[in-house]
Structure 1
Amino acid sequence: MSIIEIGCMGVKPDHAVMDSSTPEGRILQQAWGSVLQADGGPHWAYGGLECNDPLRLWGLFAFDSVQQHEKFAQTFGFQAVQDLPKILSHPIFQRHVAIDDGAAPLASVLDAGIKRMIFAYFPADVSEDNKVAIRECAKRVLTEHGWEGSRRSWGWGVENDFPILGNEDEGKGSAFVIFQSQSNQHVDLKEEDSSHQAALSELRNEFKAVGELLHVVSVQVGFQSFATK
């Protein structure tokens, strides 16, 4: 089981952080590149701007365990990212997702086509039985809508206090996170979006039937690899 640190950060206006030819882009590349090369650091890192809100930077980092990440963050990790406040305005959230063993390797999903994340939020005390049922619903619905196994990955949040994106007034909860890449490399963007929206609607209905669904939100991000070890 892979543990993914997932984080979202605000980007300062007029800072092209994903362009490595700019000063701010070089700061990000240097910071995350240093993290990857350090002993005890993540196995890989992907970052990208939210397509509908380019002032939000998302980062995904693969660790063996939460403990490994926490130990690294307290040592070299803290030093490696000390220049990020020069280009980032504020942290939005940072949590961990445990990728299911039966899901596709997340890096392979992130390397393919359009990338989306679906966050489905449930009460903090959602039962283990409901977690299993929710996962099985997701597998079935995604398959029916054309996302075969190699183009999807998923997992439950390790923490049960994920902030509810887009509906912060609801507070926090447990999150089931789905990572999707393009369902078929030959379909056009309009068809792809229509397929995604249909799957999202069905997921919402199925999840409501299984558990006390608090909120569902889909986020499209232009993820790029920052290299691997």
Structure 2
Amino acid sequence: MRKLKIRVAIFTAIIPSVVYGQVGINTANPTEALDVNGKVKIRKLQTLTSSTVYPLHADENGVIGKANLSPQSQIAFYTSSDEFSFSKSSYNSGEEQIVPIQASHASLNTLGTVLSTGGNIIINQTGTYMLSGSITPQLTINNDGNGFIYMAVNIEVSSNGGGLWSSVSGGRPIFTRVDPGLMRNYVFTIPSVTVQLAAGDRLRIKFYRTKASNTLQGSTVSAISLGAGFGAPTYTLAITKL
């Protein structure tokens, strides 16, 4: 008897809707062909293989439909026009120099990356990423050596909290001394690369003076910094989730 009453109640609630070609669930006054007042659950959804599937969106009234919206790009872009100085003795001896990326340098961040200490960017989504970047060294090259600066520049990834780092892209630009004792701006663009990253992985940019057969290469510097010049920013690092 109870089941019969429930069925009668549901049927009574739906009849007015059917008359007008509209079905209301938990509402006596549907305003659409199907008007659901409450949460909706669809069981056993099948995977669609059509090339013409569309995401569904809801407006402020809860009406569901397709929308002419481009998916939001998932990207974090870090850049700065500030000048960052580095120890000349540290660089001349071949020690690694880390670009001091800061949270305030994020001109765009729809990825939700966060900054850790030491210029480390922490990834919070596992996936395939495209990475690219650049640096603008400001060098005062001494009148010694062969007149060239041999500088390796790398984007590195760490998967253990910064304990171990491995290069995923980079290069070794050779900068030419123009006038001894005068500061010059140089630019190096780090090639784009696609990599698989896991949540918690860290990224950074480093540069250092290279060696050949354990011998430091090229000339030394009397001053070294990264800084903007002639339209080039101090550095860039673009992280795009594909």
Q: What TM bracket, shorter-length normalisation?
A: under 0.3
Of structures 1 and 2, the larger Rg is shown by 2
Higher relative contact order (CA 8 A, sep 6+): 1
State the TM-score, normalizing by the size of structure 2.
0.26
Higher normalized strand content (fraction of residues): 2
